[in-house]
C-alpha cells in the first residue's frame, strides 16, 4: 500500500467527473504531507478510475478527472 492509496480510494468512492482537493485535504485523507513523490505516484490514480488533471502549486490544489468510460459503482 502506498501513502496515496487512501486518496485513490476516496476518489473512487466519490465517483464524480471532477474533484478538486487542496493539499491540506489530501493530507487529511492520506495522513501524510504531500511529497514530491506524488509526481511519480500520481499514475496510480488511473487504477482507481482517475487521473491528475492539473496541479496548482501557488493555490495548493489539485484537480482530478474521472477517466472516460469509468463508472462509479
**Local structure of 30: helix, strand or coil:** helix
pLDDT tens-digit series, residues 8-43: 999 999 999 999 999 999 999 999 999 999 999 999
Helix 23-30, helix 5-14: angle, nearest 10: 110
pLDDT for the residue numbered 32: 93
Phi, psi of 16 (to 5 degrees): -80, 155
In terms of pLDDT, which residue wins out, 1 or 72? 1
Exposed / middle / buried, residue 49 (Cβ in 10 Å: 0-12, 13-18, 19+): buried
Domain positions in the chain are 5-66
Amino acid at each position: 500500500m502506498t501513502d496515496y492509496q487512501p486518496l485513490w480510494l476516496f476518489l473512487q468512492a466519490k465517483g464524480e467527473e471532477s474533484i478538486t482537493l487542496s493539499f491540506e485535504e489530501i493530507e487529511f485523507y492520506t495522513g501524510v504531507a504531500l511529497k514530491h513523490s506524488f509526481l511519480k505516484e500520481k499514475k496510480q490514480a488511473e487504477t482507481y478510475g482517475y487521473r491528475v488533471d492539473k496541479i496548482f502549486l501557488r493555490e495548493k490544489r489539485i484537480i482530478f478527472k474521472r477517466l472516460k468510460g469509468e463508472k462509479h459503482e
